Structure 1
Amino acid sequence: MEDTSTRSEPESPPEASAESTADGPTSEPDDETDIEALRERVESEYDFDDFGPSDMAQMSADEWDAAFDPDTWITGDRLLDRVDAELKSRIATRDVFGVLERVREDGEERILVYSDEGYAIISPTGEVRGEGTVLRDIEPIVALAAMDSYEVPEPPENWSLPHPDSVPEGSGEFGNLVVQAVAAAQVLAGAALLVASAVADLGTIVAPAMGIVFLLVGVFLFAMVANARLSDRFRSEEYRNRLRALREAKERPEFVPVEDGVVTERGAAASDSDRDE
């Protein structure tokens, strides 16, 4: 009988060891591929030319890291200039409601945006702190301005908030007139069909039925135009009231931590608490 006690165990084939050593190096390319795939999906899913707070809230942490590469972010005075131009453009188009100022903190320049519903302070590092709806609106704007691939539009000369008396009653009057014309045509057609059915014995119910349908459509369109005009007037009046409140206030709102163009200790304390969180 053959003695097998001294026989060594068979060695693993070299192919297996080669595969095991190859697993490590291939993991990094796989990770890079996953990041690229995630970045492509984010770019196709989100419109960064119209990136807003709702989009920012929907993005996960992985999507945020894939879309915004921290190594390519713009900081310093260049970031403040880009944010300044972007905010002026958005204030001019009413995408942002607020007063824009340059303030200082610890000897460095900051951008302050405030309204009757909150404020935001932007630092050269891209940090944004504040409260209210202004903070919610400003955060995605700063993120966009920090991207080198994003082209900041040139703000118009008269970018500041308008005078309350210069705000029109509503917008889209041409569209309302077009809808009114269509509604009038529907009413006239319906009335004509009903009159024709009453005067001449057409011997069918199709004409009066269509006349009633045309009348109902016309009335509905007139009601829709009236509702749109009332909504425009309400929004315009609300906008004018907010403008008057800012103009009549001789000083910044009490919740804005800025005095004499300098961020106070209250604002600095809020920044420290944000970092701790």
Structure 2
Amino acid sequence: MSDASEEGAGEHVGDASTPPDATGATAHTDEDDLEELRKRVEEKYDFENFGAADMAEMSPEEWDVAFDPDTWITGDDLLERVEKELKARVADREVFATLEYAEVEGRRSLVAYSDTDYAIVYPNGTVEGRGTVVRDVKPTVALCSMDSYDVEEPPENWQLPDPGELPEEQSELGNWMLQLLAFSQLIIGLVAIGIWIYQGLGSQLVLGVAGMILIVISFLLFLMVANARLSDRFRTEEYESRLRSIGSGSRPSFLPIDDEAFETTRTDRSQLEE
């Protein structure tokens, strides 16, 4: 290097406009800002109950500080943690899905699917699919990738129930209470109108109006009971239909995976869960 070059380099290092510790100060400032953002994220989000709504609300910067890539769990360990967590959520009826392992794009992956939707969890934490199953699975994968998150142990019989295992009738205590209240309102209303008629239609008009109001209320209560029973029956029948569909012995046709890629030969629910 020439003398002129060395002289120029020496002038650049000693330039007052670039303090010797400028780089260190900038790095220190960035580290402080990162730590402050991390604290705000920890205060803003409840990671014990982290869900899809929280994921949608998170900014990219918040995501980076909340889920440090250097500490993420990946590979088979991640799949096993996700499998346990999803089994526990299925057992609690928070997720409606069946779980299986399959070879997808040359990688052993966890597949969760229902009668209408599916999600594929790859070993690197990527999630693909559609519908509500994806929205249920994505937050689970994010949490299970964190070493600090304690995965819930699923019960032995975690799987969805068979349609025949569903109770024939739900508790009728609430409906019976409403019917009793409606019946009492109806009797009081009829008695009030009877007294009003007996005393003469021109007198005690308030008594007659109150009686009619009570009768109207009683009919509304009876209507609520009837509607509740019809709604419960409809939801039960719909749930049974979904269970029969997912446990019919064949996988849904919308799954973008060949049956040969699955580790389990699916002939019925009992064999699948063994």
Q: Normalization by structure 2: what TM-score?
A: 0.72
Contact 1:169 1:232 (8 Å CA) reproduced = no
Please tell me whether residue 130 in structure 1 is matched to residue 129 in structure 2. yes
- Counterpart for residue 29 of structure 1: 32
Q: CA 1:144–1:212 in 2, change beyond 3 Å: closer, same or farther?
A: farther
Shift of 1:100: 1.0
- Counterpart for residue 248 of structure 2: 248
SS at match of 1:175: helix
SS at match of 1:244: helix
1:138-182 deviations in Å (ceiling 9; x for gaps): 112222222344433332222212222333456453332333333
- Counterpart for residue 141 of structure 2: 142
Measure, in 1, the Cα distance between the counterparts of 2:250 and 2:188: 59
- Counterpart for residue 227 of structure 2: 227
Please tell me whether residue 41 in structure 1 is matched to residue 44 in structure 2. yes
SS at match of 1:152: coil
- Structure 1, unaligned runs of 5 or more: 1-16, 264-277
* Stretch deviating more after TM superposition (87-96 or 200-209): 200-209
SS at match of 2:247: helix
Measure, in 1, the Cα distance between the counterparts of 2:58 and 2:164: 40
1:44-67 deviations in Å (ceiling 9; x for gaps): xxxx45444344333333443454
- Counterpart for residue 268 of structure 1: none
Seq. identity, %: 45
- Counterpart for residue 269 of structure 1: none
- Counterpart for residue 257 of structure 2: 257
Q: CA 1:30–1:54 in 2, change beyond 3 Å: closer, same or farther?
A: closer
- Structure 2, unaligned runs of 5 or more: 1-18, 264-274
- Counterpart for residue 199 of structure 1: 198
Query: Given residue 29 of structure 1, which amino acid in structure 2 is its aligned partner?
Result: D
Shift of 1:98: 1.9
* Stretch deviating more after TM superposition (88-97 or 202-211): 202-211
1:222-255 deviations in Å (ceiling 9; x for gaps): 2122212212211221222222222334345253
Contact 2:118 2:129 (8 Å CA) reproduced = yes
Contact 1:39 1:66 (8 Å CA) reproduced = no
Q: CA 1:104–1:22 in 2, change beyond 3 Å: closer, same or farther?
A: closer
Contact 2:101 2:262 (8 Å CA) reproduced = no
What is the aligned length? 241
